[in-house]
Structure 1
C-alpha cells in the first residue's frame, strides 16, 4: 500500500514538472522598446505583439541585439554608443511628426496603427483603409529626426488569414514575409 502511494506521488511530481516545463512563458517588453498605438479608426484590427517576448526569445536574440545596436556606433553612423539609446527620443519626436503630417495624409481617420521603435527603426503595424496613401505616410514618418528606416507591416483586411506581424492574441502563428 505504501509503495502504491509512493508511486502515485512520484507520477504526480513528474506530471507537475512536465506541465511547468511546457507552461507558456510570460511575454515582457524586456528591451523597454517604445510600443504604442497611434490610431483607432478601423475596428477589429488585430493588436500586434510588438516587442513583447518570452525569456527564451530574448536570450536567443540577445547577441544579435547587442551586435545590431553597437554596429551603428562602430561604423560611425551614430553619435550614441548604441542605436537602441535613440528610441526614447524618437518616440517623443515621432509624436510631433505625426501631428504635423496628419493634415497632409489624414492617417488618423484611415488607420488603426501601432508603432514599435527599435534601434532607430520604426515598425508600423496594423490596418489601413483601402486607398490610403501609405507611401506618402511612410515617407513622411521616415523624416522623423534620427530615424534610419521605417518598416511597413500593415494590411487592408483586418480579417486576413495571414498577417505581416505577430499578434497578442496568437503570438505563435506564422506571419507573411515581414518587412524587416
Structure 2
C-alpha cells in the first residue's frame, strides 16, 4: 500500500468516531477523588462524577486555575490551591463514613458515589424515601477542610437522576 493511501486510511480511522457521531470517552482528567461508598439500592445509575470529555476539560481549565487559587489569594486557605486539599478530604471523608456507620447507620441503605472537587464534597446516587438526607449531609459537612457538601440524591432510581450519567 502506498504512503498516500496509508495516510488516508489512518486519517479516516482517526476521525471515523467523530463522523459517525460516536461519543468521546469520558475521563477523570483532573484526577479528582471519586469513589463509591454504598451499593444497597439496585439499578441506581452511575454518575459521570468528575469524568468529562476533552472539550469539557478544556472549557473548565481556566475556571479550575482561577477558582483553585482564589481562597489562597483571599487568605482563607493554608495551601496555594483548593485542589491540593482534595486527597486529604477524600481520606477524611472515608474516616467520617466509618464513624457514621455506628452513629448514623441508615446512610448505608443507599447507593452513593462521592466526588471531591476543590474542597467540595459532591454526593450523588440513590436513597430510600426515609433516608436521613439533611442529617447525613450535615454530618458530611463536618469533614476536615471541606468547604461545602452538595447532595444530588434521588429516591426514584427508575427515573432520570439529578446528575449527569456515566456512559
Normalised by the length of structure 1, the TM-score is 0.81
Distance 1:111 1:18 in 2: 41
Q: Is the 8 A contact 2:107 2:132 kept in 1?
A: no
- Tell whether 2:25 aligns with 1:19: no
Q: Cα distance, 1:130 vs. partner?
A: 1.1
Stretches of structure 2 that go unaligned for 5 or more consecutive residues are 1-8
1:163 is aligned to 161
Q: What is the RMSD computed on CA atoms of the aligned residues? A: 2.0
**1: CA distance between counterparts of 2:10 and 2:43?**
43
For the pair shown, the structure with the greater C-alpha radius of gyration is 1
Asked whether the 8 Å contact 1:41–1:108 carries over to 2, the reply is no
Q: Describe how 1:1-150 pairs up with structure 2 within 5 A.
A: 19-22=16-19, 23-150=22-149
CA shift at 1:104, angstroms?
Answer: 2.4
Secondary structure at the counterpart of residue 122 of structure 2:
strand
Change in Cα spacing, 1:141 to 1:79, as seen in structure 2 (3 Å) is same
* Deviation of the 1:55 alpha carbon: 1.0
Separation of aligned partners in 2, 1:28 and 1:76: 32
Distance 1:14 1:70, change over 3 A: closer
Deviations along 1:85-119, whole A, 9 cap, x unmatched? 00000111111111111222224431100000000
Of the structure 1 ranges 104-113 and 143-152, higher mean CA displacement relative to structure 2 is found in 104-113
Which one has more relative contact order, counting CA pairs under 8 Å at least 6 apart? 2
Query: Which 5+ residue runs of structure 1 have no aligned equivalent?
Result: 1-11, 170-180
